[in-house]
Amino acid sequence: MEIEKLSLRIDEDPLNQLVAGRLAAIPNLKELAIRFEPGVAWLKGKYFALLYPVGFQVAFTPRLLNQKIELSMDNLSISGMPASLFKNMLVEFLQDQLGGIHGVTVSDRGITIDPGALLEKEGIPLKGEIRSLAIEKGFARLEAGPA
Question: Element (H or E) spanning 41, and its range?
Answer: strand 40-49
**Amino acid code (one letter) for 26:** I
The domain spans of the chain are 6-145
Q: What is the pLDDT of residues 59-116, one digit of tens each?
A: 999 999 999 999 999 888 888 778 888 888 888 888 888 878 899 999 999 999 998 8
CB 85 within 8 A of CB 73: no
Q: DSSP character for 147?
A: -
CA 131 to chain CA mean position, Å: 19
Between 17 and 51, where is the model more confident?
17
Residue 38 contacts residue 136 (beta carbons within 8 Å) = yes
107 and 8 Cβ atoms separated by less than 8 Å: no
Measured between alpha carbons, how far is 48 from 42 in angstroms, rounded to an integer? 19
Q: How high is the pLDDT of residue 68?
A: 94
pLDDT band at 25 (very low <50, low <70, confident <90, very high): low
Q: What percent of the chain has pLDDT over 90?
A: 45
CB under 8 Å to 7, separation ≥6 — which residues?
141, 142, 143
Query: Burial, 38: exposed, middle or buried (Cβ in 10 Å; 0-12, 13-18, 19+)?
Result: exposed
pLDDT at 24: 62
* pLDDT of res. 52: 79
Whole-number mean pLDDT of the chain?
Answer: 88
Q: Residue 70 in 3-state DSSP?
A: strand
pTM: 0.83
